[in-house]
Each structure stands twice: as C-alpha cells, then as structure tokens.
Amino acid sequence: MFRITKPTVVTRLLRATLLPAMLLMNSVALPRTVDAGTIDFSTYAAVAFSPSTGHYGYSWDAPSRGRAEQMALAKCAEKDARIVGWVQGGWLVLAIGNDNIYGVGWEYGDGAANTDAVRRAKSECQKRGGKVHTLVILCSGDIDPQIVK
C-alpha cells in the first residue's frame, strides 16, 4: 500500500489552484450582506426586465409601489419590459442567467437580509435552467443598489 506522508508538489499545486477555481466556477461573486436595520419600511423598490434583450431597469427608495414600478420601466425602456418584482420595506433581487433566463427573490420585514433574497433569486433562475451571471440587489430604502457580475 502506498501512503503519502508529506504534501507533494502536485498536492500543493492542486490546493493552490483547484480549490479557488472550483469556488469561482460555482457562481457569481458573493454580494456584501446587509440587514434590515437601516431600511425605511415606508419605501419601495421595483425591477423591470426584458426577456428578449436581457436588459433591466430598477428603482429604490420610492414613495409608492406605482412610482417604483414606473421608474423601473422607464430605466429599462424595452418594448417587452415588464415588472418582475417589487418590495416594500425589504430586499429585492433579480438573478439573470444564460439565454436571459431570470429569477426573482425578495425578503421583507423585521430582520430581513439580502442573503435570503439572493438565495431565492438564484434558486429560481437555476430551476428555470439558467446559470446565474448577474445579480441586481435592491433595497427598498436608501441603500445604494448593488450589481454583482
């Protein structure tokens, strides 16, 4: 029986290159985590998406759902754009995958965190057959949106 007692050159090389590569291949970069401690629960966010082009538009810190949706559609400006999600007092995430497949996730209320919304959006996109390459992470309050590619 052959037993290795010291790390070989190959083992060191695999540890240095293979593990980081596997982590990178698994998904897009990890977003920073922010909790609901700073969310204004009287504000809205919305996201519009065009399935034909993959373009999107979004809004945040809006005074009403209608205004949030209006601003998101105006920023997308594609003929087939439609609102795919909105949230009040929480987080909204659009995950975009290959062939313009998408998923949407949200989390709202006391203790809401963007990590739960990200997980849901990625899961929805993957269920539809998409490999996620872009995340649009929105807070309904005055926290700046985060685009992760």
Specify burial of residue 65 (Cβ count, 10 A radius: 0-12, 13-18, 19+): middle
Which residue bears the tokens 């979004």?
58
pLDDT tens for each residue of 70-122: 999 999 999 999 999 999 999 999 999 999 999 999 999 888 889 999 999 99
Answer yes or no: is pLDDT of 44 > 80.
Answer: yes
Q: Does residue 93 contact residue 121 with C-beta atoms inside 8 Å? A: yes
Q: What is the pLDDT of residues 120-143, one digit of tens each?
A: 999 999 999 989 999 999 999 989
d(CA 96, CA 9): 40
Tell me the three state secondary structure of residue 10.
Answer: helix
User: Strands 90-97 and 82-88, how do they pair?
Assistant: unpaired
